[in-house]
């Protein structure tokens, strides 16, 4: 049995786990990130948390194979640094991988949280047993991860899976630095909320779930917003399917809570938009694991070292 350390470094909390190759957790520590104290402080905190874990299960720290870290934002996986870190100011370009490598003398790997969650789903969750898996999370943003034979396809600059920027409606809404009509600006939870507030007012719409509830109750404006978003999601899935033809999609994120409203329609539209030879051969699966950031991070060294 092999053992790995997973660290989920978020803007609010840090979690560190000792897990085995089957994803079973043996020891866990959780603390506030306290990012306001600066990058070195946070990095020291992570080191300390790693030391604090109980290594009885593997007969001591020396038997740990490696350390994986998941972070919010795009990562240069080769250099082991974050490229953008809006939720962790100061972490852009900070050599967190080199620091931990030097301190612990173990292989250390860094990737973004969507990739790490996708890796966990592909290896231990809904995608288990499929040779390739495209993981998609539709939440505040839209992110993804492509996993082939239990390994993340990170791409040349670690941007594989940055599918929120795929154009589903040319000339559509321009959100921040994303493309006009990018998926994240058109069919993320944030986008559905924005359209819902504009059409129905802030009283009725606090989050995307409200818009789906109103649509289910028969509100014509809410229905138009939700139906357009689902159509665009099906376009996003079809575009990805024609690019890599995954053995399955795994879908997660807050918007999936409203799946009773759209699941059948999404399946129908997706299958109508792919080549006949692929039709009904790419299952859309629902994310299985909860809170899998740290476990997924622990899968990083496992998938890279084996």
How many Å apart are CA 16 and CA 53, to the nearest integer? 8
275 binds its own copies (CB under 8 A): yes
Strand (E) or helix (H) holding 189: helix 189-200
Q: Write out the two tokens for 279.
A: 């039709």
Query: For residue 37, what are the contacts with CB-CB under 8 A and spacing of at least 6?
Result: none
Return the number of the residue (70 or 172) whose C-beta is nearest its own copies: 172
Q: Interface with its own copies includes 168 (CB under 8 A)?
A: yes
Site string for its own copies, 124-163 (x = CB under 8 A): ------xxx-----------x-x-x----xxxxxxxxxxx
Q: Per CB under 8 A, does 86 bind its own copies?
A: no
Per CB under 8 A, 166 contacts its own copies: yes
Q: If binding is defined by CB under 8 A, does position 19 make contact with its own copies?
A: no
Provide, rounded to whole angstroms, the least separation between the CB of residue 123 and its own copies. 18
Shortest distance, position 31 Cβ to its own copies, whole Å: 29
Using CB under 8 A, pick the residue from 22, 62, 105, 276 that binds its own copies: 276
Cβ 123 vs Cβ 295: under 8 Å: no
Contact region with its own copies (CB under 8 A), list: 45-53, 102-110, 188-196, 233-241: 233-241
Note whether 238 binds its own copies by CB under 8 A. Answer: yes
Tell me how crowded residue 129 is: count the other CB atoms within 10 A of its CB.
Answer: 10
| Euclidean distance between CA atoms 197 and 148, whole angstroms | 40
Residues 6+ apart with CB under 8 A from 74: 82, 83, 84, 112, 157, 158, 159, 162
User: How many other β-carbons are positioned within 10 Å of the β-carbon of residue 103?
Assistant: 16
- Cβ(302)–Cβ(4) under 8 Å? yes
Query: How far from chain centre, in Å, is Cα 54?
Result: 28
Beta-ladder partners of 143: 137
User: How many chain residues touch its own copies (CB under 8 A)?
Assistant: 50
199 binds its own copies (CB under 8 A): no
Given 23, 66, 68, 74, the residue binding its own copies (CB under 8 A)? 74
Q: In terms of CB distance, is 23 or 172 closer to its own copies?
A: 172
Q: Of 72, 127, 209, 246, which one interacts with its own copies (CB under 8 A)?
A: 246
Of 3 and 109, CB closest to its own copies: 109
CB of 132 to its own copies, least distance (A): 7
Q: Distance between CA 5 and CA 50 in Å, rounded?
A: 8
Q: Does 96 bind its own copies (CB under 8 A)?
A: no
CB of 254 to its own copies, least distance (A): 21
The window from 39-47, 57-65, 214-222, 240-248 that contacts its own copies (CB under 8 A) reads 240-248
Of 206, 189, 198, 83, the C-alpha closest to 142 is 189
Q: How far is the CB of 150 from its own copies (least distance, A)?
A: 14
CB of 268 vs its own copies, minimal distance in Å: 14
Angle at 290 between CA 24 and CA 283, to 5 degrees: 100
- 241 token code pair: 């399917």
Cα–Cα separations (whole angstroms), residue 240 to 6, 18, 93, 113: 29, 34, 30, 20
- Does the footprint of its own copies cover residue 174 (CB under 8 A)? no
Q: Report CA torsion sign: 34, 40, 44, 46.
A: positive
Chain positions contacting its own copies, by CB under 8 A: 74, 76, 83-84, 130-132, 144, 146, 148, 153-170, 177, 179, 235, 238-248, 273-278, 281-282
């Amino acid at each position: 049995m092999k053992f790995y350390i997973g660290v989920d470094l978020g803007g609010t909390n840090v979690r560190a786990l000792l897990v085995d190759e089957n994803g079973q957790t043996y020891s866990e520590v959780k603390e506030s990130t306290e990012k306001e104290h600066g990058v070195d402080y946070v990095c020291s905190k992570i080191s300390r948390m790693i030391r604090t874990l109980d290594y009885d299960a593997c007969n001591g720290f020396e038997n740990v194979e490696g350390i994986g870290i998941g972070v919010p934002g795009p990562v240069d996986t080769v250099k082991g640094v974050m490229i953008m870190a809006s939720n962790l100011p100061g972490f852009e370009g900070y050599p967190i991988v080199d620091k931990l490598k030097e301190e612990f003398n173990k292989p250390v790997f860094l990737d973004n949280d969507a990739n790490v969650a996708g890796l966990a789903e592909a290896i231990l969750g809904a995608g288990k047993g499929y040779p390739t898996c495209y993981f998609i999370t539709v939440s505040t943003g839209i992110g993804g991860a492509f996993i082939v034979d239990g390994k993340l396809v990170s791409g040349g600059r670690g941007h594989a899976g940055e599918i929120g920027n795929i154009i589903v409606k040319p000339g559509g809404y321009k959100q921040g630095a994303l493309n006009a009509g990018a998926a994240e600006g058109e069919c993320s939870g944030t986008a559905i909320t924005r359209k819902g507030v504009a059409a129905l007012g802030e009283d009725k719409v606090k989050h995307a779930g409200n818009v789906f509830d109103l649509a289910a109750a028969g509100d014509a404006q809410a229905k138009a917003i939700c139906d357009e978003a689902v159509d665009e999601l099906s376009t996003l899935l079809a575009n990805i399917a024609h690019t890599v033809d995954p053995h399955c999609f795994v879908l997660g994120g807050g918007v999936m809570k409203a799946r009773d409203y759209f699941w059948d329609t999404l399946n129908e539209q997706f299958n109508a938009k792919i080549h006949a030879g692929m039709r009904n051969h790419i299952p859309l699966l629902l994310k299985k694991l909860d809170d899998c950031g740290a476990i997924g991070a622990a899968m990083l060294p496992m998938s890279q070292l084996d």
